[in-house]
Copies of this chain bind each other. A is one copy, B any other.
Amino acid sequence: MNLSDIKRPTLLVDKLKVIRNIEEMKQKADNNGIILRPHFKTHQSYIIGELFRNRGIDRITVSSVQMAEYFSRSGWKDITIAFPLNMREIDDINKLSGKLELNILISSKDHIKDAAKKLGSAIGFYIKIDTGYHRCGLEYNQLSEINEILTIGGSNASLKFRGFLSHFGNTYKVESEKEILQIYEEGKDRLNQLKLNFIDRFPDTILSVGDTPSCSIVRNFEGIDEIRPGNFVYYDLTQQNIGSCSIENIAVAVACPVIEKNTRRNELLIYGGAVHLSKDFTYNNDKSLTYGTIVRLNETGWIPFTDGSYLKSISQEHGQIHANQEVMSEINEGDLIGVLPAHSCLTANLLKKNTLYF
């Protein structure tokens, strides 16, 4: 990588770290004899897609119809759109489903009626189940609603029921490995309990789960058929704080030009703001709010500075780094500095057109 060519905030992707993150997750899935269907919403990049493909991954997850179209164009043939059916995109879904194995999510009777009426080619569907996160989906104990969906979906020639899909997103709100494992175990048990009710009619029912915290921490996936983590490919500070990864696993940093060095306040003003990093934040050990951790860039990657330097504030294009003595003595106006993002999915989305893979 040639740092001297970088003029503007640029996402640096360390492919060796990416590959290590992919291989570890694939190994874990293989050890458990389950399917790894990674979520591609984090990287949204055909280049990173190839790194997965080269390691034997041929089924993927996306979060929008447009993302499915994008990855279909780079040759992916088995895609789950892990977002409940948007009935306004039925025509686009029909165009896609003729070209590949496509799975959609159903979470209401209106969805399945619409799907049964308007979807043409053979298409798989999962029922989206809420085991406790309370963002979306039917709750695991709404048996009569789930039964109605299965009755309509099960009797339609172009629809194929795949299984129950859940996202244990509440793992993002806890702070210990123990609590993550509790959420995972409870969610898994609820899905298995649900599955039992329909096992006679649907013996091949798949149970699919997917948050990165669970997938990073759980070792034994007995009772689950498929995992769909996404963030793990890059990881970030939020995952580090949760305990899903260490700082060495974080595979992306944003290279930002240093604009001002303020010796009065021990601050650096960087070109790097909300339109590059997003406004998502996390917390330092001392509970102060941070938009990113500061790292020293070199031609082969980055090394964290000693503790105490972090991105304390951002506006549209500006970032303000609270800098410790090490940073203040080493970095000057015109230099580049690296920022490990709070939330890599949103940062990668914003810097899609300004990414450097090395």
Bound form: Cα–Cα A6–B350 in Å: 23
Check A275 for interface membership: any CB of B closer than 8 A: yes
- Which segment of A53-61, A146-154, A220-228, A310-318 sits at the interface? A310-318
- Residues of A190-206 at the interface with B, using a CB-CB cut-off of 8 Å, are none
Residue from B6, B135, B262, B320 within 8 A of A269 (CB atoms): B135
Residue from B87, B260, B269, B346 within 8 A of A333 (CB atoms): B87
Nearest CB in chain B to that of A5: its residue: B88
Number of residues from A at the complex interface, CB < 8 A: 53
Bits for A104-135, please: 1 = Cβ < 8 Å to B, else 0: 00011011001000000000000000000011
Q: Are B269 and A136 in contact (CB under 8 A)?
A: yes
Q: A316-B345, A333-B108 are in contact. Are A259 and B134 (CB under 8 A)?
A: no
Instruction: Name the residue among A7, A41, A92, A280 with the largest chain B CB count within 10 angstroms.
Output: A7
State the oligomeric state as a number of copies: 2
Bound form: Cα–Cα A280–B41 in Å: 20
**Which residues from chain B contact A274 at a C-beta distance below 8 Å?**
278, 280, 346
**Which residues from chain B contact A271 at a C-beta distance below 8 Å?**
83, 86
Q: A87-B334, A260-B136 are in contact. Are A92 and B265 (CB under 8 A)?
A: no
**Which residues from chain B contact A137 at a C-beta distance below 8 Å?**
260
Q: Are A313 and B135 in contact (CB under 8 A)?
A: yes
Check A66 for interface membership: any CB of B closer than 8 A: yes
Bound form: Cα–Cα A50–B139 in Å: 50
Bound form: Cα–Cα A89–B108 in Å: 52
Q: Are A88 and B316 in contact (CB under 8 A)?
A: no
**Which residues from chain B contact A66 at a C-beta distance below 8 Å?**
8
Shortest beta-carbon distance, A108 to chain B, in Å? 6
Q: Are A41 and B316 in contact (CB under 8 A)?
A: yes
Check A296 for interface membership: any CB of B closer than 8 A: no
Bits for A159-190, please: 1 = Cβ < 8 Å to B, else 0: 00000000001000000000000000000000
Q: Are A318 and B278 in contact (CB under 8 A)?
A: no
Nearest CB in chain B to that of A313: its residue: B135
Check A210 for interface membership: any CB of B closer than 8 A: no
Residue from B111, B264, B317, B346 within 8 A of A275 (CB atoms): B346
Q: Are A259 and B84 in contact (CB under 8 A)?
A: yes
**Which residues from chain B contact A269 at a C-beta distance below 8 Å?**
84, 135-136
Q: Are B86 and A316 in contact (CB under 8 A)?
A: no
Check A63 for interface membership: any CB of B closer than 8 A: yes
Check A257 for interface membership: any CB of B closer than 8 A: yes
- Known contacts A63-B316, A84-B259, A88-B257; 17 further A-B pairs (Cβ under 8 A): A7-B86, A8-B64, A83-B259, A83-B317, A83-B318, A87-B334, A88-B334, A107-B259, A107-B260, A108-B261, A110-B332, A110-B333, A111-B333, A136-B260, A136-B320, A139-B264, A278-B278
Residues of A at the B interface (CB closer than 8 Å) are 6-8, 41, 63-64, 66, 83-89, 92, 107-108, 110-111, 114, 134-137, 139, 169, 257, 259-262, 264-265, 269, 271, 274-275, 278-280, 313, 315-318, 320, 332-334, 345-346, 349-350
